[in-house]
Each structure stands twice: as structure tokens, then as C-alpha cells.
Structure 1
Amino acid sequence: MSLLQLPEIRADHRLGGAQFDLRPDAVDRWNPDVRAAKDDDETTISIYDSIGENWDGTGITSKRISAALRNIGARAVTVNVNSPGGDFFEGVSIYNLLREHKAKVTVKVMGVAASAASVIAMAGDEILMGEGAFLMIHNAWAVAIGNRHDLTATAAVLEPFDAAMAKVYAQRAGITQGEAAAMMDKESWIGADAAVEGGFATGLVDSADISKHTNAAADRKAMALIEASMAKAGYSRSTRRDAFKALFSGKPSAAGDPTATPRAGEEVAASLHNLINALKG
């Protein structure tokens, strides 16, 4: 059990029908080049990507974090975070895995810990904010499809999940659950100093411990922005995956299937056309 007693987050099983996606504004403020200066210690876990598995198999998943924690064993662990968030179920699972770790967990927010990544950050017994780093807390953001009754039902299902997150933020910061919920309603971006002053973090990361690694990470941000824009436009996760596969393989994922119809290619084309319009906007 974690040194710091924080509540578990338990999501209603009906939430499985919702898709939790990256928000474009969170990706826009994410600089994937920001890393820890020393990031190769055997007891360090790096979370420098979106939360949840991406179309190409990248991304931070609870399965990968669980494997890393098993390798570390009952030793103190440092978790370096720079993530725009993503799938809330994966974030909740990672939060609970870290909370239950048998030794001290130190979370260092190197750049941005937004949305699901901010939930993960709250699992630390010690939470340190990097220079210029931000936490972003908000209500669960889901893509839902249906008539007004379906959407009303979805809102009702999301409500207890938001309450569970508010409880975690409130217990960490020493504020009431209502105050935390109000901050989530406003979608609060909390800077390093404000996080420490407000009780969301325990201290600051030494600036010497932060560096920039300019590499293909910029491409990862561009891809995340594209997918987030498509999600905002209402395209399903499977459609977005088809679009990306077509973009990089030169054909829709169904092209090799003799039973597939031309509609698959049309759907990919429509997704990409919508993407261009979204980026222009």
C-alpha cells in the first residue's frame, strides 16, 4: 500500500461505452522534448507520451507501467511525467497501480500533466513541479453519440466519475471536494508555484534536472494534434486508426480484405478531409 493514503478511483462499468480522448488544447501546450536530465535509472519510469495505446502501438498503458513496477520491486520509484493526457481508464489504472506500490513514489512533472496525466501525478507520495510545468484538471471529456436521451444518460454516467477525481484532488490539496469540483468545472491550468501553494504539489524540481531532447518527439505532437482534432470533429477511434494506417501505408486497413467495400477508403478520405478543415480552423 502506498505511503500516502489516497482513495481509489472506481469508474461505473457503463463508462465503457464512452471514448476518452486527448483534448486539442492540452496537446497544444505539450512540449514532448522536455525530459529529465537523468532518465535512465533502473527505478525511474518515464511517462512522456499520451495515456493509452495509440494507433501505432505507442503510448503509455497500465500494462507497461505494471511491468515496470514488477521489475522495480519493493523499491522507491521516481515517475517523470510530461503528457497531454488521453484515455482516462488507463490513467485511473496507472494511478491505482502507483498508489498501491509498496515503497515511496516520487512524481516529477517535467512539462505538462494534463487530464488523465494529472490524475496519475496525484498518486505520488511526493509531487515535484518542473520550472514552467503545469497541471491541468478538468471533468472527464468523452466522445458520445446518440439522441438527447443518450447524451443525458452519458452525462449522468460521467458525474460519479468526476466526483471520484474531485475527491482525489481535494484530498491531495487539502480543499473540499466542492472546491475541487469547481476547479474542474473551470478546466484549471495550475502552474508550478501555484501547484505548490495550493497543495497539489510538494515542491519544485531543480532546473538542472530538466533538459530538452530535440528529436522525433515533435512528430509525435503533430500526430497527437491531428488525432485530437479528428476526435473533436466526432470521428470514432476506429475511423481515426484507419485514417492513420492509410496515411502511412498508402492504403486503408481494409484494402487487403477481399470482402471489404470501397466505403472503407471513402471513410478514410472523409476523415482526412475533415482533418484539413479542422487544422485550417
Structure 2
Amino acid sequence: MKKFWKWKNQAQTETAPAERTLFLNGTIAEESWFDDDVTPQLFKDELMAGSGDITVWINSPGGDCVAAAQIYNMLMDYKGNVTVKIDGIAASAASVIAMAGTKVLMSPVSMMMIHNPMTIAFGDSAEMQKAIEMLGSVKDSIINAYEIKTGLSRAKLSHLMDAETWMDANKAVELGFADEVIKRSGDTEDMEAPTVSMLYSKANVVNSLMDKIAAKCAIEPKHTHQHRADDLLDRLNLIKNWR
């Protein structure tokens, strides 16, 4: 089994408390997690093998939403504080895990992305309808995690997911998905933070591009001139007279 997580534990010393660090790198559950009793239990056993506060570093494009949901629940149920630090990307399912942090910090060069859940379905129209309903339920469950963390309305969160929204660290803090931007050790508290924030919507960009293409390729309709029968008759008579 290829694990997508790694623990680094540091025992307590005279000058420093015990430290537990969890690294989530790469695709979440690259191998089976769904319908697998071994992998979730292994993660839980390692999580519960120690005590005290935990720092979770995330750099993941996402993956299995079932695995993400279970990890989210395990971290939410953990007795100590869970500090999530995003140093690269927390996209899709990885963003759900990030919501379990007691505090969520993002590197100033990191990104977070949220979007609608996806699946592959096979079968007749009844099976397709079941898949659609299942995706709707999964989306609702994901919104629950975002709503608890951000306090945004479900309608707003649903719209952000529909648009496949990418956020830089400042925008994530602004919307409530993160609490702070990670500062370099030794930086003073009164340093002025960047005020520029970025939110990128794939759906909006595609729609805008399609509108521009449609406008560029539009064919002007030919103007048709309507004439009365009397006008046509007058013209025919005029031609006859010139013979």
C-alpha cells in the first residue's frame, strides 16, 4: 500500500514540548480507501498513537472524497489542537481536510481550490439519476465542512463550488477558509500584509471566453427589403415603357 501521509514525532525535551507533525502530500488515497477496512484504521491508529497538539502540513491536489471525509472526522474528533498549514496546494478533497484545523494557515504562495464532486457512472437513465442524486448529497456534506469553518451561506458556498474557485492565501483568509497567512520566523507583527487578493473562477473564465468567441464569429443577418405589390408593378411598367 502506498501511503499518502507521513508522521514525524519529536519527543519532549527540557526546552521544547513534544511535537507531532503530519504530512499529507500527493493524491489522497491513490490506492483503495473506499470499502477498505485496513487503510482508514491504519491512519486512525497512527493518529491516536500519541497525544498533544498536531501540525498538519498539506500539499495535495485532492482525491477520494470518502477518504477526505473520514480524515476530516478523525481530526475533528482528536482531543488536541490541530493546526493546518498549507504550503503548496489544498485542492478539492484536500480542502475538506483543511477545514478540520483548529487554526488554518496558508503560505503566501499557496493556493486553495474548491469545486463540485465528480464521479464516473455506467448504466441506464435510472443509474445516471442515482449518480446525480449521490453527487448532490456528497456536495451537501462537503458544504457542511465549509460552512462550519467559514460561516458563509450555503448558497454562496454552492456558487463557489459550481464555479471551481481558486483562492490565494489572502482571498482564503478573506472568505474564512483560512485564518492567517504564514509569516517568516522573526517577522514583526506590525508588518503590513499585502492587500491584493486573487480569486479565479474557471467557469467564469470559460464563459467569458465563449462569449468573446461567439461575438467575434457572429454573422450579421442579411437585411431583406420588403416592397409592396404596387411598387413592384410600377417598376415593371417602367421597364416596359423603356423598351
Q: What TM bracket, shorter-length normalisation?
A: 0.5 to 0.7
Aligned partner (choices 129, 137, 144) of residue 167 of structure 1 = 144
CA distance in 1, matches of 2:120, 2:129: 13
CA contact (8 A) 2:149 2:177 kept: yes
1:110-169 per-position Cα deviation (integer Å, ceiling 9, x unaligned): 111111111000000100001211111111111111223311221012212211111221
- CA shift, 1:207, in A, is 4.5
CA contact (8 A) 1:140 1:162 kept: yes
Aligned partner (choices 34, 45, 51) of residue 67 of structure 1 = 45
Paired AA for residue 144 in structure 2: K
1:94-117 per-position Cα deviation (integer Å, ceiling 9, x unaligned): 000000000111000111111111
CA 207–84 in structure 1, closer or farther in 2 if over 3 Å, else same:
farther
3-state secondary structure, aligned to 1:43: strand
CA 109–167 in structure 1, closer or farther in 2 if over 3 Å, else same:
same
CA contact (8 A) 1:167 1:180 kept: no
Aligned partner (choices 61, 64, 71) of residue 94 of structure 1 = 71
- What is the root-mean-square deviation of aligned Cα atoms in Å? 2.1
Aligned partner (choices 66, 87, 102) of residue 125 of structure 1 = 102
3-state secondary structure, aligned to 1:54: coil
Paired AA for residue 161 in structure 2: M
- CA shift, 1:194, in A, is 0.3
1:11-69 per-position Cα deviation (integer Å, ceiling 9, x unaligned): xxxxxxxxxxxxxxxxxxxxxxxxxxxx66450000012111438xxxxx544431331
**Which structure has the larger Rg?**
2
- Identical columns (%): 35
CA contact (8 A) 2:169 2:181 kept: yes
1:227-258 per-position Cα deviation (integer Å, ceiling 9, x unaligned): xxxxxxxxxxxxxxxxxxxxxxxxxxxxxxxx
CA contact (8 A) 1:131 1:207 kept: no
- CA shift, 1:190, in A, is 1.3
User: Which structure ranks higher in relative contact order (CA pairs < 8 Å, sequence separation ≥ 6)?
Assistant: 1
Query: What aligned pairs does 1:196-275 form with structure 2 within 5 A after superposition?
Result: 196-207=173-184
Aligned partner (choices 120, 125, 134) of residue 148 of structure 1 = 125
Structure 2 residue aligned with 1:80: 57
TM-score (norm 1): 0.55
Runs of 4+ residues over 6 Å off in structure 1: none
Unaligned 5+ segments in structure 1 are: 1-38, 56-60, 210-281
3-state secondary structure, aligned to 2:79: coil
Structure 2 residue aligned with 1:191: 168
- What is the number of residues matched between the two proteins? 166
CA contact (8 A) 2:30 2:63 kept: no
CA distance in 2, matches of 1:125, 1:140: 25
* More helix by percentage: 1
CA distance in 2, matches of 1:170, 1:207: 30
3-state secondary structure, aligned to 2:94: helix
TM-score (norm 2): 0.63
